Amino acid sequence: MNEPTAKRKYTFPKEEHLCRKKLIEELFSKQSSSFGVYPLRMVWIKAAAPTTALPQVLISVSKRTFKRAVDRNRLKRLIREAYRLNKYRLLEQPNGHQVALLGIIFTGKEKSPLALVEKKLISGILRLTGTTVEASASPPAP
């Protein structure tokens, strides 16, 4: 079990960022799926076949809710950090994952701490993969 953790890379390089306008428009079109895990909303497009490739990810915080750029940037930084540390849950699925494009939108009205953002992001990733929270928890120590 320790072998895969040694090989994990906790990075979020530029290649994983969703930047192309055409792909962003496709992500928010009618063919995408979404669900909410307050204070986050996950929007994704299903891949044609199960894959182990990294999905491109978009992170967004509303300017309407958070007027000050420092607040928006802090929340985006927290979401990026939580995703960076937990993306392995999506990538290390036994048969691959179904996510091609992923949008993580902060919909909360108040600033949230990293622990809450990370907990909800993990919950969202597990829901995307179809795993239950109990199945993904580490086994109890003997």
Task: Please report, for the chain, the start and end positions of each structural domain, with discontinuous segments joined by +.
Answer: 13-127
Would you state the torsion angle of the CA atoms of residues 18, 22, 24, 30, taken in this order, to the nearest 10 degrees? -140
What pLDDT sits at residue 132?
Answer: 55
In angstroms, what CA-CA distances link 95 with 51, 53, 63, 83, 90?
8, 12, 38, 21, 11
For position 3, what pLDDT does the model report? Answer: 55
Q: What is the pLDDT along the chain (142 residues), one digit of tens a residue?
A: 455 666 888 999 999 999 999 999 999 998 889 999 999 999 999 988 998 888 999 999 999 999 999 999 999 999 999 999 999 999 888 888 999 999 999 999 999 999 999 999 999 999 998 875 544 444 444 4
Q: What is the pTM of this model?
A: 0.86
pLDDT given at position 30: 84
Q: What is the pLDDT of residue 4?
A: 61
- Give me the architecture of the 13-127 domain, per CATH: 2-Layer Sandwich (3.30)
Handedness of CA 116, 121, 126, 130 (dihedral sign): positive
